[in-house]
Amino acid sequence: MRIAIIVFPGSNCDVDLFEALHSVCNTDAQYVSYREKSLADFDAVMIPGGFSYGDYLRCGAIARFSNIMPEVVKFARAGKPVLGICNGFQILTEAGLLPGALKKNNNLKFICKTAALTVENNATLFTKQYHSKEKIYLPIAHADGSYYAEKNVLSQLEDQQQVVFRYADENPNGSLNNIAGIINERGNVLGMMPHPERAVESLLGNVDGLRVFKSLLEGKVRTKEASR
């Protein structure tokens, strides 16, 4: 599987994501600049975390006007897999590929810690290797991670099992319905605030994020972690 990692000015989790895909999962990952205008030959697109355009105006609000974004939208509309992590999630909501918005954390502070989550929907492209309602732990690192959507959007997300990850134990940022990650109706675009790419090797002290990537790559690779 050939995976594009979109790099914007200010992205800072692109290398972690590359290492997770390339070094841990042995898959073909390529950096693609925000200036590019084509995603031909890629099987999946991932938008990494960071501070695209310095988070000026609103997180993701400027990135979504980059050259590459119409291609990302086309890619998603074609039903191909798209994953947005943290700032990537923010960019996907700004681009209209996912509903709702990410607001400032309730405490108005940047929060960097490990969060407990439950896997609410394990029937997606990105979560099929988790058990239903499995409790996992992933790092979070954001200032604008409080998920907001209108009531009718929230009920649609709940009714259609589009909430994929929910904060467990405590809600760190004020997200409505404890939402940490959602998928679009079609099931090919996932956005999540926690960082699975920072939890893919025992050396990192946590492998709970590895199955997000393994689920997508299922059957196509034998990961190093799995062979240990």
Ligand X SMILES: NC(=O)CC[C@H](N)C(=O)O
- Which x/- pattern, by CB under 6 A, does the window 187-216 give for ligand X? ------------------------------
170 part of the active site: no
Interface region with ligand X, contact rule CB under 6 A, candidates 17-25, 39-47, 137-145, 219-227: 137-145
Q: 94 near 103, Cβ under 8 Å?
A: no
Burial of 226 (0-12, 13-18, 19+ CB in 10 A): middle
The structure tokens listed for 169 are 């134990």
Closest to ligand X by CB, 92 or 221: 92
- Should residue 145 be labelled a site residue for ligand X when binding is judged by CB under 6 A? yes
- Should residue 14 be labelled a site residue for ligand X when binding is judged by CB under 6 A? no
CB of 55 to ligand X, least distance (A): 5
- Should residue 143 be labelled a site residue for ligand X when binding is judged by CB under 6 A? yes
Of 8, 18, 42, 51, the one binding ligand X by CB under 6 A: 51
120 part of the active site: no
The Cα 190–Cα 97 span in angstroms is 9
131 part of the active site: no
Task: Classify 156 in phi/psi space as left (phi over 0), alpha (psi -120 to 50) or beta.
Answer: alpha
Contacts of 114 (CB under 8 A, 6+ apart): 137, 138, 139, 140, 206
Q: In what order do the strands lie in the sheet with 135-142?
A: 28-33, 2-7, 44-47, 82-85, 189-192, 179-183, 163-167, 111-119, 135-142
Q: Which of 25, 59, 86, 94 is catalytic?
A: 86
Closest to ligand X by CB, 20 or 221: 20
Of 49, 84, 99, 196, the one binding ligand X by CB under 6 A: 49
The structure tokens listed for 37 are 């205008």
**Residue ranges in 19-171 assigned as alpha helix (H):** 69-77, 87-94, 151-159
DSSP state of 54: G
CB of 165 to ligand X, least distance (A): 15
Of 4, 6, 83, 87, the one binding ligand X by CB under 6 A: 87
CB of 49 to ligand X, least distance (A): 3
Enumerate the active-site residues.
86, 195, 197
Q: Which residues would be at the binding site for ligand X (CB under 6 A)?
A: 49-51, 55, 59, 86-87, 141-145
